[in-house]
Amino acid sequence: MPEIKVKEFDPELLPDMLPVYYKRLFPHKQFYRWLSYNNSLQHELVFDIDLTDYDDVRTCCSEANICNKCWKFMSVACKVIDVALRDDFGFEHILWVFSGRRGIHCWVSDKQARQLDTKGRGAIADYLQVSMSGGEGSTTKVALYDKQHHSIKRARSIIEPLFDEIIVEDQDAFGTTQGVEKLLKMIPDENCRKDLEQQLTSSMKDSRTVWSSFKGYFESLRVRSQLKPKLKYVVEEVQMAMLYPRLDINVSKATNHLLKSPFCIHPKTGKVCVPFNPNLVQKFDPINVPTISLLLDEINEFDGKRNEIAETPEDKSRIKDYKKTSMFKGITIFEEFLRKLEQSLKSQAITISDKKMDF
């Protein structure tokens, strides 16, 4: 993939650019394939994760802004949800899409998922919803007990190794007085909280030291068997509360909530909603997602070069326009998703016709 040049996007020019985009670049053919499931009324099971829901734990940016450090929250969320959907629920046809600005969307297109009723969607959403938030401004909490569901254990095994890098280092979460306060708030015991407060606020420390003294404090209590049962998992609870995926659960529960479709142009950023590979989500770069302005330049540039080399029009038309641009990768992922989906539809059809032969 060529080095992408970040081109300034001007929302004023969007109305002029959109017709060209939809005429030359938007993958209509693939879309038609995607939408022609069974001619019946269905809705994919969808998930929406937005970085604004992480505003209390991210320090690098806030609100609509996004950087590569923030993206790590999305990366963790994508991994936790993706593996649960595949391993626990047996879904296979899952499309992950960058939402164009600061979030990600997940479309589950398995037949069973498309046919789910509200109750089924609600059950899956609740199954995946672990952290509790008391609402605006309150701290997000996760409660862990001795008995932990296998999905919780698996989420922990994804989250815990990344916690230091994302929260302690990148976000420098406990490097400020407010950060330490937030951490202390998450301790569900007043005495311990006061105890630790003295230790942690006596002198200004960096994020890493604070986190290790936090862990050390509870570890030493545990060793001396003075750790109260409710504090047994306090370290893990903090990790889960800060990194467990924060789903916009109502989007998944109902079928009337619409998501922006893949390959739309985000009206504010001009970025394309490109699909990405969940296995390589950590390598996805949300900053350099192609904008509509860049893409149009790319086709023009390509066509210009081509015209110089070969003037034959047939030759030119053989190369699909999107292949000339940095949207190429996103479309390849989409096509791969469609290919597998169509394959499963075909094999289902074969099984059905086989069954009919028996009679």
Nearer to other proteins, 147 or 224 (CB): 147
> What phi and psi values does residue 107 have, to the nearest 5 degrees?
-115, 115
Of 37-45, 100-108, 124-132, 213-221: span binding other proteins (CB under 8 A): 124-132
- Choice from 153, 185, 316, 339 touching other proteins (CB under 8 A): 153
Q: Which of 231, 333, 212, 320 is nearest to 284 (CA)?
A: 333
Q: Are 9 and 291 in contact (CB under 8 A)?
A: yes
- Choice from 31, 89, 302, 328 touching other proteins (CB under 8 A): 89
Name the burial class of residue 75, with classes exposed (0-12), middle (13-18) and buried (19+) by CB atoms within 10 angstroms of its CB: buried
Name the token pair of 59.
Answer: 């320090």
- Choice from 6, 13, 64, 143 touching other proteins (CB under 8 A): 143
Q: Which of 104, 111, 105, 113 is nearest to 85 (CA)?
A: 113
Nearer to other proteins, 151 or 255 (CB): 151
Name the token pair of 156.
Answer: 């922990």
Say which residues have a Cβ less than 8 Å from residue 32's Cβ, sequence separation at least 6: none
Q: Are 184 and 193 in contact (CB under 8 A)?
A: yes
Name the token pair of 325.
Answer: 């641009």
**At its nearest, how many Å lie between other proteins and the CB of residue 150?**
4
* Binding-residue pattern over the window 206 to 245 for other proteins, x denoting contact by CB under 8 A: -----------------------xx---------------
- Choice from 123, 254, 319, 349 touching other proteins (CB under 8 A): 123
- Choice from 3, 12, 136, 147 touching other proteins (CB under 8 A): 147
- Residues in contact with other proteins by CB under 8 A are 87-91, 112, 116, 119-120, 122-124, 126-127, 132, 134, 143, 145, 147-153, 188, 229-230
